Structure formats: structure tokens, C-alpha cells
Amino acid sequence: MTTVTLQNLRKEFDDVVAVNGIDLEINHGEFLVIVGPSGCGKSTTLRLLAGLESTTDGRIEMNGQDVTTVEPKDRNVAMVFQNYALYPHMTGRRNITFGMKSSGDFTDEEIDRRVTEAADTLDIADLLDRKPDAMSGGERQRVALGRAIVRDPDAFLMDEPLSNLDAKLRIQMRAELARLHSTLETTTVYVTHDQTEAMTLGERVVVMNDGQIMQVDEPQVLYDFPANRFVAEFIGDPAMNMIPVEIQDGRAVHETFEIPLPSGTDQLKSNQNGVGDVQVIDGQRAILGIRPEDLHLSDAQTDGQLPTINAEVNVREPLGDSLLLHCSIGSTSCNIQAEPRTQVTAGETVSVTYDPARLHLFDAETG
Ligand code: ADP
């Protein structure tokens, strides 16, 4: 049973606040992903968990035990790094067994048994006698994973482990990691700047910005109910459109259109955490958020009842499985993700409709 609790965790480097008061509960067996832009404090959070950095303030518990000042080697966690951190002069086998051998806690038979098991799980038997310079990037990362799993740790801490792989291999290794997790069910904390990786791997995803947690939720909940503008713009590719409006008499008024806010505007205001509420009062400036795939080119024949917005198409980008239209709504830029073979040309003005239930509203000042 490994639960990990972070309480008011804080880390300063001189005048930089890398981690600014984080509270987080990581469940036993969970695959938790921490995602956010470069420099937001993801790696530092992971390194604090591993004991590789000392805390400035706050507390880390594993299984109810305070480990805040416990040495890394006594935490029983295994780190997997972006650069693999393999010893170049050692074979795959030596790299995998080195930690176990030097701890003195394992018999040779036990070490052999664990290496065979890890080699089976990761399909790396043929890498055991090779040195890292005779392995591809993906093979090195497999060996690095082998080194982590033979220790049978309470938790895996993974810092951008797929970042050095090319796009195709990254997708393959992503599926591999998911499979490994469903086999081993070891608590895993995984750091990435890549929102696709976060969404596909995470049972829950923590979105960080500026040393703080913006939202913790299951991937689909993050996508459907972003707690604030930062999460809304960070999660989703292409990003959510952000359209400045003013609230007037239950309507969102833009320079070129006005649309009614759906009845029960409460749905717009927040997710179930109640974060990011927008006061819907007359004269309030707000940001209307709508995802590119939630805007639809309107067909006057069938959409007569729905409010429409006019958009001028600036650039059309055929993406194969969809057509991305870069548009202007007055002075506001806006993307529409349309059906792949839609007949529309740059310079054309299109009529756009939307599902009212898929609108988001954010505070113009605080996001
Ligand atoms: P991320 O992993 O999200 O890219 P980091 O946790 O590496 O972010 O860094 C968070 C902030 O802390 C950044 O501003 C970074 O420059 C700073 N930082 C990280 N490690 C150190 C260090 N050892 N010394 C000084 N500043 C650091």
C-alpha cells in the first residue's frame, strides 16, 4: 500500500520559488501525471519526492510515514530520467543489477531471478549483454525501466522519460508504459510538458503553472471542465478559442455578435471543484471559451434555430483527419476544426454555430 501525501510543499532556489505550496494526495497504484510548461516546477516536485532536493517548507509522507528528510536511498522509490542515466561502460545487465548488488540486500539467485523477470516483462533479453552505445534510444530507455522495476519499489518517479525519443517511438513507448503499469500496478508519478502524453497516460493529471497546482482531475474532466483559463488553454490541441465579451442582460456581447448565455449559466461558470467561478453580472468583462471542434460551419437549412456567428476564413490547413480553419471574428482570432473535405476557401465568410452546453466562461481579469 503506497500512498504519497504532499502537504504545503515549497522549494526555493535563492530568489526563485520553484514549488509554491503544493498539496497533493497520490493514491496507491495510481498513475499520476504532472504536466505544465517548462519551468513550472514539475521536475523539482518530483526531485523533492525522490529526496534529491531538500524542501524549503512542507511535508512529504509515504504510507503515513514522514519522509521529508529521509535520504533518497532509504525512500524505496525508483527514478527514471529523460537521459536514461545508464553507465556507458557497463552492459545492460550490469546497469540493471548495479543498484541491487551494491545494496548488499539481495542474493545472486534473487538478482538473477529479478533480471530474468524484468527482461521478460520488457522484452530486453537481447540487450543484457550490450553496452548502451550499442543500443537505440528506445532500447536504452527499456533498460533504464528494467533497472527501475527490478528493485520492486514502492513508487516509480519518471521525469520526461520519452522526451529523447522520436515521435513514432514515443507513441509506441507510451503504450508500453501503460501496459507495464497495468501489469505491475506500481504507484507512478510521471512528469511531462506534453499534454498528449499526460492525457493518454494519466489516470489523474495535475496541471501546474508557476510552482502551483492549477487543477487535478481525470483527463476527460480536465478537458471538459477546465478550472480556469490556464488549464483551458494548456489542455487541448489546437487550443481552446478565447473570445473577449461583455455580459449584458444574460447575453455575451462581442464586437460582432451577441449570443444568449444558456439558462442556468452556473454550468458555464465552474467545474465541479467550484474553481474559476465567473460572476455573471451586467457590464462584467469575460472570456468566452470554445474549443475548435465545438464550432460548426452552419447549414442554414437545418440550423435555423441556433444562433450563428460570422467568421472570415484566413487560412485553411488540411490535417488529413480534419480541416483546421484559421479565422477572424471581428478583431478576434479563432480556429475552427471542420470536417476534412469541407468546401471552403480562404477569404470566404462562414456562418458558425455551436452547442451552448460546450461553452466556457472565464473571468477576464483573473482567468
Ligand atoms: P520544470 O520541470 O517544470 O521545467 P523545474 O522544476 O525544473 O521546472 O524548475 C522550476 C524553476 O526552478 C525554474 O525557474 C528553474 O529555473 C528553477 N530551478 C530548478 N532547479 C534549480 C536549481 N538547481 N537551481 C536554481 N534554480 C533552479
Ligand 1, atom 21: nearest CA belongs to which residue?
13
Ligand 1, atom 12: nearest CA belongs to which residue?
18
Choose the weakest-confidence range: 22-26, 276-280, 338-342.
Answer: 276-280
Ligand 1, atom 5: nearest CA belongs to which residue?
41
Alpha-carbon span 184 to 63, nearest angstrom: 18
Ligand 1, atom 15: nearest CA belongs to which residue?
39
Choose the weakest-confidence range: 53-67, 225-239, 295-309, 316-330.
Answer: 295-309
Q: How confident is the model at residue 47 (pLDDT cuts 50, 70, 90)?
A: very high
| Predicted pLDDT of residue 213 | 97
- Judge if the beta carbon of residue 54 lies within 6 A of ligand 1: no
- Judge if the beta carbon of residue 22 lies within 6 A of ligand 1: no
Q: How far is the CA of 18 from the centre of ligand 1 (A)?
A: 6
What is the average per-residue pLDDT within 229-243? 95
Q: CB neighbours of 359 closer than 8 A, spacing ≥ 6?
A: 261, 262, 268, 288, 289, 290
Residue 265 has pLDDT above 70, yes or no: no
Mean pLDDT of the chain: 90
272 versus 156: the higher-pLDDT residue is: 156
- Judge if the beta carbon of residue 39 lies within 6 A of ligand 1: yes
| Predicted pLDDT of residue 300 | 60
- Judge if the beta carbon of residue 41 lies within 6 A of ligand 1: yes
1 versus 201: the higher-pLDDT residue is: 201
| Predicted pLDDT of residue 357 | 83
| Predicted pLDDT of residue 267 | 46
| Predicted pLDDT of residue 244 | 95
What is the average per-residue pLDDT within 346-358? 91
Q: From the CA of 44, give the closest atom in ligand 1.
A: 6
Q: How far is the CA of 108 from the centre of ligand 1 (A)?
A: 40
SS3 121: helix
Q: How confident is the model at residue 169 (pLDDT cuts 50, 70, 90)?
A: confident
Domains and CATH numbers, the chain: 4-232 (3.40.50.300), 239-363 (2.40.50.140)
Alpha-carbon span 127 to 122, nearest angstrom: 10
Q: How far is the CA of 209 from the centre of ligand 1 (A)?
A: 12
Q: How confident is the model at residue 165 (pLDDT cuts 50, 70, 90)?
A: confident
- Judge if the beta carbon of residue 46 lies within 6 A of ligand 1: no
- Judge if the beta carbon of residue 40 lies within 6 A of ligand 1: yes
| Predicted pLDDT of residue 166 | 87
Residue the block writes with cell 481525470: 218
Phi/psi of residue 130, each to 5°? -100, 155
Ligand 1, atom 20: nearest CA belongs to which residue?
44
276 versus 153: the higher-pLDDT residue is: 153
Residue 135 has pLDDT above 60, yes or no: yes
| Predicted pLDDT of residue 104 | 85
